[in-house]
C-alpha cells in the first residue's frame, strides 16, 4: 500500500519530490528507456572487447604464492580464462597503510565461484614481498589466491591498480584485456548499488539536485575511524578493516592523503 500525499507537490528539503504512484511510474518508465539504451551500449562494448587482439607472453615466468614459486600458468588452475587484479603495495606499511582503493577492490573479489562455473579463474597479484603479502592476506581473511610479482615486467608485473584478463591455449598464455581507474568499477558491486539510491555515492563530483547533501571526496570508502567518519588520521584504516579490530593504531601509512 502506498500513501497518497495530501499535496502531490509536497517537497522535503534535500529529498526527491513526493508524488502519487502513477506519477512515479511514469517517470520511472521514462528513465527505463535510457537505462535499456545504456545496457545495449554496454553489450556492444562487451562484444568489441571480445574482438580485441591479444598479446602472447611467457607463461612459465615464476610468481610467488602460498606454495612458493610457481609458473604464471598455475594461476589458471587448469581453466582456460583468468581474471587478475593487480593490487598496489606499499613496502613496510602496516596492514592499515595498504592501498585503500585496492583494498576495496580485493574485498569485492573474495568469491569467484560464479567465475569458476564459467571456466574462469581469479587471482590477485601485487609487488609486495611475499612475507608481507601473506601476513596481510591472513589478516584480511581473503580466500582468493594471491601472488607476489615483485620485479616482474608487464603483463604479469609492472603497473598495479589494473584489472586484467588472460587466455590460455595449452601452455601458451595471452593478455586479452586490461583496464584501470573507473574501468575497474564493474568488479565493485557496492558502487552499482549506490548509483541506484537517492543520494548515490555521496561524492562531490556527482551531478545531484540542488539541496542534496554536497558529498565529499572518495575517502568514505578509503579510510574511516571507528565511527565511520572519513578521515586520514592516526586511528583510521580502510573501511573493511573495522571487521578486523586487532589492527593497532597506524604509525606509518603507505601514502599520505586528505579527507574532507
* Residue 8 covered by a domain: no
What is the pTM for the complete model shown? 0.88
d(CA 258, CA 260) in angstroms, rounded, equals 7
Residue 213 pLDDT: 86
Residue 58 covered by a domain: yes
What residue numbers bound the domain in which 115 lies? 52-181
Residue 4 located in a structural domain? no
**Is 138 domain-assigned?**
yes
Rounded-to-integer distance, Cα 230 and Cα 130, Å: 30
Q: Is residue 225 included in any domain, yes or no?
A: no
Q: Is residue 81 part of a domain?
A: yes
| pLDDT for residue 8 is more than 70 | no
With cut-offs at 50, 70 and 90, classify the pLDDT of residue 101: confident
Portion of the chain with pLDDT greater than 70, in percent: 88
Residue 67 falls inside a structural domain: yes
Q: CATH number, domain at 140?
A: 3.40.30.10
In a domain, 156, yes or no: yes
Query: Would the pLDDT of 13 be above 90?
Result: no
Cβ atoms of 142 and 109 closer than 8 Å: no
User: What's the rounded mean pLDDT across residues 95-114?
Assistant: 90
**174: which 3 cell numbers?**
595471452
> How many Å apart are CA 260 and CA 230, to the nearest integer?
8
Mean pLDDT of the chain: 89
Sequence-ordered strand ranges (E) for the chain: 55-57, 62-65, 68-71, 81-87, 120-126, 146-148, 162-169, 172-180
What is the domain count for the chain?
1
Amino acid at each position: 500500500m502506498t500513501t497518497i500525499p495530501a499535496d502531490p507537490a509536497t517537497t522535503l528539503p534535500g529529498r526527491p519530490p513526493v508524488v502519487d504512484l502513477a506519477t512515479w511510474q511514469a517517470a520511472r518508465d521514462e528513465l527505463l528507456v535510457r537505462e535499456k539504451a545504456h545496457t545495449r551500449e554496454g553489450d556492444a562494448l562487451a562484444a568489441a572487447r571480445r574482438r580485441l587482439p591479444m598479446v602472447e607472453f611467457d607463461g612459465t615466468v615464476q610468481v610467488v604464492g602460498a606454495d612458493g614459486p610457481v609458473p604464471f600458468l598455475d594461476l589458471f588452475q587448469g581453466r582456460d580464462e583468468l581474471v587478475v587484479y593487480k593490487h598496489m603495495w606499499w613496502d613496510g606499511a602496516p596492514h592499515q597503510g595498504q592501498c585503500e582503493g585496492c583494498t576495496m577492490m580485493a574485498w569485492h573479489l573474495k568469491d569467484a565461484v560464479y567465475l569458476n562455473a564459467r571456466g574462469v579463474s581469479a587471482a590477485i597479484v601485487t609487488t609486495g614481498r611475499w612475507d608481507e603479502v601473506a601476513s596481510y592476506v591472513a589478516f584480511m581473511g581473503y580466500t582468493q589466491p594471491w601472488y607476489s610479482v615483485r620485479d616482474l615486467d608487464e603483463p604479469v608485473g609492472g603497473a598495479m591498480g589494473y584489472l586484467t584478463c588472460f587466455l590460455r591455449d595449452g601452455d601458451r598464455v595471452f593478455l586479452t584485456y586490461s583496464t584501470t581507474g573507473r574501468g575497474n568499477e564493474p568488479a565493485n558491486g557496492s558502487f552499482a548499488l549506490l548509483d541506484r539510491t537517492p543520494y548515490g555515492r555521496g561524492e562531490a563530483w556527482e551531478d545531484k539536485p540542488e539541496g542534496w547533501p554536497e558529498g565529499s571526496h572518495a575517502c568514505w570508502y578509503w579510510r574511516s575511524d571507528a565511527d565511520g567518519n572519513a578521515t586520514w588520521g592516526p586511528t583510521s584504516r580502510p573501511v573493511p578493516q573495522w571487521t578486523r579490530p586487532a589492527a593497532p593504531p597506524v604509525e606509518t601509512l603507505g601514502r599520505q592523503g586528505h579527507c574532507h
